[in-house]
Structure 1
Amino acid sequence: MGARGYGVVSENGDHIEGASEDALFEMVSALNDTDNTFIVIEPDTDDPTWFASVAVLEEGGYEIVCRDSARHEHKVHTESDISRIALDLIVWLAARNIAGQRARRGTDFQDTA
């Protein structure tokens, strides 16, 4: 069961409401360096305060960006293991969906701020 309250959209128009780790794995796996180079994950609100994105890097692998302005987080991470990307994203997204609690620290994403 995936977390609710956010959507995932790819450059080629694929869209999933809330997504499981497996669905994120499939969407990242479908990325390529020509016409489907990124996915964006953001809450289903008019004025989102956070987002995450995964983009294909020219030199191989992926760049993952996670930004949450309400929590003053801006993290950028590069990774080539799609399983790891999906897991790290699902953990990060779970922290966004816990109302009234602070974000959980402890993923492998690196602060760039």
Structure 2
Amino acid sequence: MEVIIKIKVDKKVIARMRKGECVKGSLRLVKKTGVKSFTAYLKKSKETNSVSTSRIIAELDNGKLYETKTLVVRREAFQKRLGVPRIMMQMDAGNKQAKDALIDRELDLIEFC
């Protein structure tokens, strides 16, 4: 037994399906009208050749300090075999390095008369 189901689909969704793209969304039944409708999720397309917008401020001993459009980010990695006290000591040293790098960067931006 075959059942035919009518579904209301937007023209943009059908155009994407004809291109061969996968369209993810939700299928709902409107109780008042009894019409089934498909709504595509609005997701940003992935850029294949996107350029990283982060700029490295300083290379630290165990990581790096870089900035994006809105953030200043410090990334560090430590080996577990060093133990907690040494890792904490290296974290403090990395924090001091990052602070010094930020101060140097600000001093470079200031123009002295």
Q: TM-score range by the shorter chain?
A: under 0.3
Give me the TM-score of the superposition, normalised by structure 2: 0.27
Q: Whose RCO is larger (CA < 8 A, sep 6+)?
A: 1
Please identify which structure carries the higher helix content.
2
TM-score using structure 1 length: 0.27
Larger radius of gyration: 2
